[in-house]
Amino acid sequence: MARGLSLTHQNAWRLAVVFILFELFAAVAVVTLLMLPMARRAAGDLAALMVLSAQTWSELPPLTRPAFVRELAASHHLFITTEPPSGTPIEVLHPPYITQLADSLSDRIGRPVEIHDLERNGEHWHWTALPSGGGTLWVSLPHGRVGSQPLAAALLTLAFALVLALAAAWWLARRTVAPLRELDAAAATLGRGEAPARLAETGPREVAALARRFNELAHQVHDLLEARTTLLAGLSHDLRTPLARMRLALEMQQRRPDPAWIERLDSDIGEMDRLIGELLDLARGLGREAAMPVDLAVLLQELAEHAREAGAEVAVSASPVQGEYPIASLRRVLGNLLGNALRYGGGQIELHLESGAGGPRIGILDRGPGIPADQLEAVFRPFHRVESSRSTATGGSGLGLAIVRQLCQANGWRIALENRAGGGLAAQVDLSDSRPAA
């Protein structure tokens, strides 16, 4: 299959067609509105001069006629003779000016006048016969006196327009194709699983927007690849521990049967099921669910009541805020954040609901040890834990905040963690992208 034209060639041909069409339109406009009226007037003036010169020659005394002929030739490049000019007749297509000159002479004389062409001494001449004083005079003029070359001018203009179009197309294509080539190279790098260099978000608005979108996509793909690697590594690590305990329990059950070993097996199976369930939630992408009407203050009171039933102290500060939200996703986000606050925060937990011009914002505040500033973003990575051990006794699996971040991204929310003055952590969920109730 033949390869298609490059962007440079396409732009060159398109610009060439546009330039040529413009030149043709401009030529028609100039010829119709400027050159033809000027040529018609110039032809009329020359015809009047020729007729007047022939009449003047007939009225002059014979002795002064040679001087008049010389003066006419020197000043106006017109030659008057009583005999037909000598030379070799030639057949040529008259330019518009000569045709208009013949028409003007015909109008002034009152009968058709023809202009003939001949070659004399290597020069092209035009001549015609004019009646004067009862006789006939032959008036001639060199072709160089006319001087116009409309066909040559049109060809030269079109040629220049074509060259200019090609040069402009090459220049424009280089400016347009250069960022596209960089994008192509970056896409190839990304396709190999490598992290491409960040594209410059400059140039035309569309190109800058494309570069910005690609940079965002490359960052997301890089995060996905890192998450995949982390998921596989974390899964293999976290499953190995309960599997080892299960193997030990089976061996001990064979040597010394005891219901406690069955309970330990059941506990390990439950831990593995929970871990696999969290991984499946994270791997499925947590697609966006349909929004439903909900009162955020009522939802926070329900979450707080469940936490109180487990022995926690949770205070709620919220006014009724109605809206449409994906209720299951919102419960999962707030539940995970509240669970982290209960596990690590200690003391009393506070749930705040604010409704500003930008939309509702839910805060979950605790007075625990907080998170080191350099790990406030890292804790959203799968299996990342501030507490370095992998024991579930001292912390969760490290997937809770990763699921929170993914749910927020899927629903257009924003999640942020910040350490509180005086100790503790504040988790803020901004729901401004959700649809308010009608």
Q: Residue range 378-399: average pLDDT?
A: 60
Handedness of CA 78, 82, 85, 86 (dihedral sign): negative
- pLDDT above 80 for 188: yes
Percentage of the chain modeled with pLDDT above 90: 5
Q: What is the CATH number of domain 289-436?
A: 3.30.565.10
Edge-to-edge strand list for the sheet holding 123-132: 79-81, 135-142, 123-132, 116-120, 88-89
Grouping H, G, I as helix, E, B as strand and the rest as coil, residue 79 is strand
Of 3.30.450.300, 3.90.550.10, 3.40.50.620, 1.10.10.10, which CATH number belongs to 7-153? Answer: 3.30.450.300
Of 1.20.1250, 1.10.287, 2.40.50, 1.10.8, which CATH number belongs to 198-284? Answer: 1.10.287
Could you tell me which residue, 226 or 243, shows the higher pLDDT?
A: 243
What are phi and psi for residue 47, nearest 5 degrees? -65, -40
Question: pTM of the full predicted structure?
Answer: 0.46
List the structure tokens of 94.
């008259």
pLDDT of the residue at 266: 82
pLDDT of the residue at 2: 43
pLDDT in tens, 49-84: 888 988 898 889 989 999 998 999 898 888 898 888
Which residue shows structure tokens 């010169």? 53
pLDDT category at 229 given cuts 50, 70, 90 is low
Query: Do 117 and 102 contact (CB within 8 A), yes or no?
Result: no
Could you tell me which residue, 436 or 37, shows the higher pLDDT?
A: 37
Q: Residue range 231-240: average pLDDT?
A: 64
Could you tell me which residue, 316 or 160, shows the higher pLDDT?
A: 316
- pLDDT above 70 for 89: yes
Q: Residue range 175-195: average pLDDT?
A: 79
Q: Residue range 144-158: average pLDDT?
A: 70
pLDDT in tens, 362-376: 999 988 888 888 888
Q: Parse the chain into domains and list their residue ranges.
A: 7-153, 198-284, 289-436
pLDDT of the residue at 93: 79
Q: Which residues contact 175 (CB under 8 A, 6 or more apart)?
A: 203
- pLDDT above 80 for 395: no
pLDDT category at 396 given cuts 50, 70, 90 is low
- pLDDT above 70 for 101: yes
Out of 102-116, 213-227, 275-289, 410-424, pick the least confident.
275-289
pLDDT of the residue at 64: 92
- pLDDT above 50 for 121: yes
Q: Which residues contact 135 (CB under 8 A, 6 or more apart)?
A: 58, 82
